[in-house]
Amino acid sequence: MSVPVPHRRTAVLSQQAAPARDVCAARRTPDGAVDVPAHLLTTTAGATTAPIPGARRPDTPADNGSGPGLTVLLIGSDPSSTVPDMWDWAGRKVRLRTARNLTEAARLLTDDVDCILLDLAPATEADAPADGAGDTLGALHAVLRMAPAHAVLVMTPETDAERAAEAVRVGAQDYLFRDELDGAVLSRAVRYAVERKRADLAQRQLTESRMRAQENARLERGLLPTPLLDGSDLRFAARYRPGRSRALLGGDFYDTVRTPDGTVHAMIGDVCGHGPDEAALGVELRIAWRALTFAGLCGDELLSTLQKVLEHERADDEIFATLCTVDISPDGRRAGLCLAGHPAPLLSRAGGPPRLLPYEYGGPALGLLPYARWPRHQIELGGAWSLMMYTDGLIEGHVGEGRLRLGQEGMADLVARRMAAGLTGEELLDTALNEVRDLNGGELTDDVAVLWLDRGRG
């Protein structure tokens, strides 16, 4: 691909001298200096006239001393090379450091350097052999490796126009021709290069952040459970809303599987807290529950084993988890219930209003007592029934602006009204969650998981 021809940077040219009466055009600025039109500072021969006390060019603002300005690091092989004075956005003079080589540049490249001005030596025939294998921008590549977060300007002779454009293509923010350097042009180029580099870094960080968010979303989505109910006549629905902003996974967890003997096992739990560590622990407990369930464990034996998993995997001894497990017989008419510090489910029989199952048979949350026990309570379901399991995020939202919380009874009444209106399954869960959020006056701050199982015939 051919290298584009660069746009020329033109220096400010000298103008003819003005009549002496034009001196009246000078005016004093608020800081005491005198702004003089540019044409009064040059003669027909290009030489400056006698200086006017306190005068400055209008394109070189005064250093207002309002704080640290920009710092530029000049890298060039000629120690006598000079560049015009430069000024930043606020009119402060740019500080200049000089380095004769890359070794000196590495020593002078401190955190306060904003831009690197690299004076490229003229290219020679030795730099560009016939086979194209030469590197005429070796110094630039070294600077880009040494200072990836800094703006870089290159200076070349006007005869090296193609190499100047190539320098921008490989990573420099801009280029200037050495023979046409002017203070105003150089000041604008430095400011532009710094802002462009900042914009590039911000865009790169934004892109990386988006990529990480997409990867995290794929990971979290993959960790959400897929119910295994093949062969069962039960209808299933679930809703999950993590309390963490922009997250898909929180400390709540649930799962539902059907074992080879036809028993349907359902579980819902909550790790205290709702950060990423709690979310990871919830996933571990869910996967452990599924594996132990397929291995044939149930009730107290299963929960005791889960507590050991929790004790080994938690970050500190104060972390605990609540859990509710239900195992439904193959004929769908009976179930065993275990509660480990978790709210009791809602059960509706034969289309009747939902009622909270008794909690007095439950045990403590996992991780609180080393030798706890969790009795399994037998429940008669009947021919047609609906069961809703949930985490405390659903019942701890506020009702109105006061300190009153919804609670289990309030949640049961809310669900009963929606069921009386004919709602069930996913439609019921969506409506209930939206109403709980509205009562709270906004999004719920805690994780919320809700699971629904339904058997509509005997």
In order of 76, 77, 98, the CA distances from 80 in angstroms are 9, 9, 10
Percentage of residues in the chain having pLDDT higher than 90: 49
As given in the structure block, the two tokens for residue 62 are 């005064």
Residue type, 371: Y
Q: Is the model's pLDDT at 64 over the cut of 60?
A: no
pLDDT of residue 178: 81
What b/e readout covers 287-305, taking b as 16+ CB neighbours within 10 angstroms? ebbbebbeeebbbeebbeb
48 CB-near residues (< 8 Å, 6+ apart)? 41, 42
Which residues touch 427 (CB under 8 Å, ≥6 apart)?
none
pTM, rounded to two decimals: 0.59
Euclidean distance between CA atoms 183 and 85, whole angstroms:
6
Helices (H), 52-159: 102-108, 138-146
Average pLDDT over residues 445-451: 92
User: Nearest 5°: CA angle at 414, between 408 and 416?
Assistant: 100
SS3 label, residue 116: strand
Q: At what angle do helices 407-420 and 425-440 cross, to 10 degrees?
A: 130
pLDDT digits (tens, 9 = 90+) for 9-62: 433 333 333 333 333 334 434 444 434 333 333 333 333 333 333 333 434 444
* Mean pLDDT, rounded, of the chain: 80
Distance CA(270)–CA(268), nearest Å, equals 7
pLDDT in tens, 393-411: 999 988 977 789 999 999 9
Check residue 284 and give its pLDDT.
93
How high is the pLDDT of residue 32? 40
Question: Measuring CA to CA, which residue among 64, 56, 11, 63 is closest to residue 37?
Answer: 56
pLDDT of residue 328: 97
- The predicted-structure confidence for 286-314, as pLDDT tens digits, reads as follows 999 999 999 999 999 999 999 999 999 99
Helix, strand or coil, per DSSP, at residue 27: strand
Count Cα neighbours of 280 within 13 Å in the Cβ-side half-sphere: 7
Of 254, 282, 283, which Cα lies nearest the Cα of 268?
A: 254
H or E element that contains 99 = strand 95-99
pLDDT at 247: 63
The predicted pLDDT at position 137 comes to: 87
pLDDT given for residue 220 in this prediction = 61
**What is the rounded CA–CA span in Å between residue 303 and residue 374?**
7
User: Nearest 10 degrees: CA dihedral of 215, 270, 326, 408?
Assistant: -130
- Whether pLDDT at 67 is above 70: no
Using 50, 70 and 90 to split pLDDT, how confident is the model at 445?
confident
Q: What residue type is 222 in one-letter code? A: G
pLDDT of residue 68: 67
Cβ-contact 440, 397 below 8 angstroms: yes
Q: What tokens were used for 183? A: 């203070």
pLDDT for res 182: 82
Q: Which two tokens stand for residue 268?
A: 């819902």
Percentage above 70 pLDDT, the chain: 77
| Number of Cβ within a 10 Å radius of residue 163 | 22
The reported pLDDT for the residue numbered 126 is: 44
Give the model's pLDDT for residue 65.
47
Q: What is the pLDDT of residues 157-184, one digit of tens each?
A: 888 888 889 999 999 999 988 877 888 8
